Amino acid sequence: MASAQFLCGQQLYISCKNGRTQLNSFKKGSISLSPTYRPKGSSFLGQKSQFGRTLVVKASSDSTTSGKKQVEIVYDLEDKFNKLADEVDKNAGLTRLTLFSPCKINVFLRITGKREDGYHELASLFHVISLGDKIKFSLAPSKLNDRLSTNAPGVPLDDRNLIIKALNLYRKKTGTDNFFWVHLDKRVPTGAGLGGGSSNAATALWAANQFSGCIASEKDLQEWSSEIGSDIPFFFSNGAAYCTGRGEVVQDIPSPIGYDIPMVLIKPPEACSTAEVYKRLRLDETSKIDPLILLEKISTGGISQDVCVNDLEPPAFEVLPSLKRLKQRVGAAGRGQYDAVFMSGSGSTIVGVGSPDPPQFVYDDDEYKDVFLSEAHFITRPANQWYSEPVLRNATTSATEFSSTAE
């Protein structure tokens, strides 16, 4: 035997016998060699610890007719190692998982009435977009509690956070006992009307189900999620849905909007309180257009200013008057640049669809030096897979930083 290599409890060996070379693998425990073992008369000439370089083995053998004969054998073992690693990972089970947690916009949002339970009836076209957070999940070594960390100041790390609520909900519904260490790389601003927290909760439910061998269906996860948030069920759609009720009644639809249509998101530092916005809503002053007509117009003619109706804009502009001025300025400066300018959800993000570039005044006016800016586009997800993170040119940055990176 010329040499032995170790990979996650499995061993690979190369043997030279009767002039022929053999490549074999042993299961753990079938052979025992120390890591420093070198067969007599053999040596490694080239080897890289991460298996990124061709392994070169020199082996010598004795010959009765010609003395010693030197044989050089060259192998590229990358494919073999990759297959072994895949097998080891499969046998070990899932211990870590990193997922993209995208946000959404409301292309239109009609408020159609108030319910007996105090919530409002809505009808809205929700669509996932390419801006999102990244969440890393690891199985905790103990069965005591979840641990959450984040890069964003002010985000609660206890059971007020929807991620923790989602993990608690999953254990309650399934009887599983997995706990997690979670790191949230926050890119979606809070208080923006983009559903970032709801997406985080949906992503946590999806992740917990993966760690448990997918014992719950997507339908189960979607139904359970409505217990902790009205917008969470939407993220279990394909990424485009007509939502009614409190938002939890989700009807999947083929995306009526092209994925290549760009947009820019502009959010001032101030947030809009959803509760305060709804408190100031006057149903007799909302739009009277049938939301199904809006959906039909978008499906046939795409996005335009007249179909991007948001009944929460007037009360949001009362809560935050500067937001109304921002929308007006974006619309005026972007004539011919944007197909539509509107507020998403209950604010305070203004969306300009049709161009990824903010208007110049955002760079020039000190009033907007601290606004959040990001370009984005519409995305969906394949069946039985979670959302994939796209590559963005510029994202989650201030106006000053955006200006310098857009050069």
Annotated active-site residue in 104, 165, 267, 327: 104
* Alpha-carbon torsion, ordered 4, 5, 7, 9, to 10 deg: 20
DSSP secondary structure letters along 111-179: EEEE-TTSPEEEEEEEEEEEEEEEEEEEE-SSSS--EEEESSTT---STTSHHHHHHHHHHHHH-----
Annotated active-site residue in 133, 231, 311, 339: 231
CA–CA distances in Å: residue 74 to residues 14, 44, 130, 171: 11, 11, 46, 52
Residue 255 C-alpha from the chain's centroid: 19
Is residue 392 a contact partner of residue 376, using CB atoms and an 8 Å limit? yes
86 noted as active-site residue: no
- CA separation for the pair 30, 259 (Å, rounded): 54
Structure tokens at 275: 């509760």
CA atoms within 13 A on the CB side of 117: 5
Neighbours of 66 (CB within 10 A): 7
* Alpha-carbon torsion, ordered 106, 321, 400, 402, to 10 deg: 10
Peptide bond into 348 cis (omega under 30): yes
Q: Across-strand partners of 12?
A: 5, 25
Nearest to 1 by CA among 17, 265, 11, 326: 17
Is residue 375 a contact partner of residue 356, using CB atoms and an 8 Å limit? yes
In single-letter form, the type of residue at position 193 comes to G
- CA separation for the pair 173, 363 (Å, rounded): 49
231 noted as active-site residue: yes
- CA separation for the pair 3, 215 (Å, rounded): 44
Structure tokens at 154: 């002010």
- CA separation for the pair 374, 357 (Å, rounded): 9
Active site residues: 104, 231
